[in-house]
Amino acid sequence: MPKEIKLCLVYRDMWQSSGKYMPNAEELVRVADPIINMGCWDRIETNGGGFEQIQLLAGENPNKVLRKWAKPFNDAGIQTQMLERGLNALTMSPVSKDVRELMFSVKKKQGTDIARSFDGLNDIRNLKLSIEYAKKAGMISQSCLCITHSKIHTVDYYINLAKELIELGTDEIAIKDMAGIGRPSSLGKIVKGIKKYNPNIIVQYHGHSGPGFSVASSLEVARCGADIIDVSMEPLSWGTTHADLLTVHEILKDDGFIVKDINQKAYMEVKGLTQEFIDDYLGLYINPKNRLMNSLLIESGLPGGMMGSLMNDLEKSHISINKWLQKNKKKEISLDSLFSSLVDEVKYIWPIMGYPPLVTPYSQYVKNVAIVNVLNQIKGKERWSLIDDNTWDMLLGKSGKLPGELGEEIKKLSKDLGKEFYNGNPQDLIEDVLDINRNEMKSKNWDFGQDDEELLEYSLHKTQYLDFKSGDAKKKIAEDIKLKKQSKIVSKDEPSKKMTKILKINEVSYEVDYILDTAKKESISDKKIVKGQKIISPIEGRVFFTKDPDENPVKVGDKINKGDVICYIESMKVINAIKSDYSGKIIQVCFNDGDDIYDDDILFIIN
């Protein structure tokens, strides 16, 4: 008897895996009814992951956006689903129990039916509370198997992981193939093993398209018993996102599965609206080459959701390293050479770092260490010179148990630095914060919001929430959009303002525009530097005196000791604590809070 296969549109992930931002409330409401009218959807991924943070950065209230966005699907009887990061909830760092519990309660009341929960290390201890809190809130608990490919990530490994999650009480299992490197046959065997253990458990497949396996994988998992397939649609399908609805729909239908028909008129309306949003301004944050697939990604396993940010990070690092090479009278390197070195470095350090599945935030951690290692080796320095605190937490066991054993290089480094390993439950390291945050919001005369939803946002994304409340976020994105649009226009009177280079990366040609700012702008190197010991930036990024609003910044005249944290550099989605190389008194600060800097720029002078 033919089996029915259901489809889920990952509208949130389509945008997030393509670029930085996604539509606002008005735009999402406009596209909701046409999505419903397509008639083929049983589920829509509406939120989760970076959704809340992205809306805050755009100056939007994510709570109001989500309520408006989810309501049409709730009314139509189409299930809505979110993605959350287990111990990290909706952030890049661990979150307290009270905030995690509140999150599920709030998201259910805002209209989210299904909580897709994953742990980047596949440590089920980090998912136990997600399962408990989701079900307590009345949500469907769906737990993920984060798919990667290595000698330790076998079919049996994943089947046993699914069994443990089912025993914990999860309602569904998601096959989360975030890099699209799961081999179709192996994925099918995993689904078969899960269904053999529990024939009634719902299995949903989520696979990115980067290396090109996703269509074959969708068909194979369906044949082996999967119930729901995640798909994307034009103009944001393929490449770093997911297989297209039309293709997956046709292969399933041709194989004898029962799939709902697609209303083509509504399909074209959704496609047109999505393109309109891209043309308006969201496309300014999307690299068009992210629509391309590249089978060379099979070997590195870099995930689709990271490739957009990776190219942006790499272009900044490319400028930075060539500045250093110019200053030291060395030959510059090309972007394709830098990318090739990065891929090789990821392959080298991944086993040494314990084989963490390359998914948020651990894919960023591995990638960031790889980039810094590559840049240092070009400069003749050793590997592992800069590892941020979050990455150390992962390596030391504070984020969960790594799938593999750490390499000798990391063990030696941790011993040399006096780092201590942690074998307990990561959640025990995080103290509850809701009462503290309530008092802080009361002191500002801020409302906690409907169902405490504003308290939740303040607790999850404090820095971004403060910028949102002050109006700074709205101003920043407006200015950024203006600058990006101006950079697309080359003045006839100033043809030298723009240089276009064609860069070839793994047989794919990338057109990169370098905008030359003709306005006189004082840089760190322009400042008159007094004599003393120089503290040099080890990485490019944005420099800040403090990480949290309640910290006291260092200032001229302060006495510091060698090893003290004196500022922070935000680079590649993580915060790097910069420590002093010397003891003494600060006699000059060479940057302004929030400045963009390059590696080897002078930060402080110590005497």
Query: Given this model, what pLDDT does residue 320 score?
Result: 76
Packed helices 335-352 and 304-327: angle between N→C axes, nearest 10 degrees: 120
Query: Given this model, what pLDDT does residue 304 score?
Result: 52
Query: Given this model, what pLDDT does residue 315 score?
Result: 72
The CA distance from 265 to 263, in Å, is: 6
As beta bridge partners, residue 176 has: 146, 206
Query: Given this model, what pLDDT does residue 312 score?
Result: 62
3-class secondary structure, 603: strand
Task: Write out the H or E segment, with its range, that includes residue 99.
Answer: helix 97-109
Tokens of 55: 């809306």
User: 10 Å Cβ neighbour count for 581?
Assistant: 14
452 contacts 108 by C-beta, under 8 angstroms: no
Q: For the chain, how big is the Rg over CA atoms in Å?
A: 24
Q: In angstroms, what CA-CA distances link 409 with 37, 344, 381, 393, 416?
A: 56, 17, 15, 16, 11
Query: Given this model, what pLDDT does residue 539 score?
Result: 79
Task: Please choose, from the candidates 429, 420, 430, 368, the residue with its C-alpha nearest in 3D space to the C-alpha of residue 395.
Answer: 420
User: 10 Å Cβ neighbour count for 547?
Assistant: 15
Query: Given this model, what pLDDT does residue 301 score?
Result: 65
3-class secondary structure, 33: helix
Return averaged pLDDT per consecutive 10 residues of the chain, 607 residues in all: 93 91 96 98 95 94 97 98 96 93 98 97 96 98 94 95 98 94 96 98 95 95 98 94 96 97 97 96 84 72 58 72 84 83 87 88 85 86 85 94 94 92 96 97 97 97 93 92 78 44 43 40 54 85 82 90 88 78 91 83 90
Query: Given this model, what pLDDT does residue 510 score?
Result: 40
Task: Write out the H or E segment, with its range, that includes residue 145.
Answer: strand 140-146
Residues 6+ apart with CB under 8 A from 242: 10, 13, 14, 17, 206, 207, 208, 209, 214, 230, 231, 232, 304
Task: Write out the H or E segment, with its range, that includes residue 559.
Answer: strand 559-560
419 contacts 384 by C-beta, under 8 angstroms: no
Please name each of the domains of the chain with its CATH number.
6-285 (3.20.20.70), 297-429 (no CATH), 524-606 (2.40.50.100)
Residues 6+ apart with CB under 8 A from 588: 529, 530, 532, 556, 604, 605
567 contacts 578 by C-beta, under 8 angstroms: yes
Print the SS3 string covering 75-132.
HHCCEEEEEECHHHCCCCCCCCHHHHHHHHHHHHHCCCCEEEECCCCCCCHHHHHHHH
203 contacts 225 by C-beta, under 8 angstroms: yes
Query: Given this model, what pLDDT does residue 302 score?
Result: 63
3-class secondary structure, 11: helix
Q: What secondary structure letter does DSSP report for 563?
A: T
Task: Please choose, from the candidates 117, 188, 181, the residue with its C-alpha nearest in 3D space to the C-alpha of residue 148.
Answer: 181
The CA distance from 594 to 389, in Å, is: 20
245 contacts 261 by C-beta, under 8 angstroms: no
As beta bridge partners, residue 68 has: none
The CA distance from 301 to 547, in Å, is: 31
The CA distance from 258 to 202, in Å, is: 17
3-class secondary structure, 570: strand
| Per-residue pLDDT reduced to its tens digit, 313-340 | 677 777 778 887 888 888 888 878 888 8
Query: Given this model, what pLDDT does residue 39 score?
Result: 98
**Ramachandran category for residue 355: left, alpha or beta (phi over 0 → left; psi -120 to 50 → alpha):** left
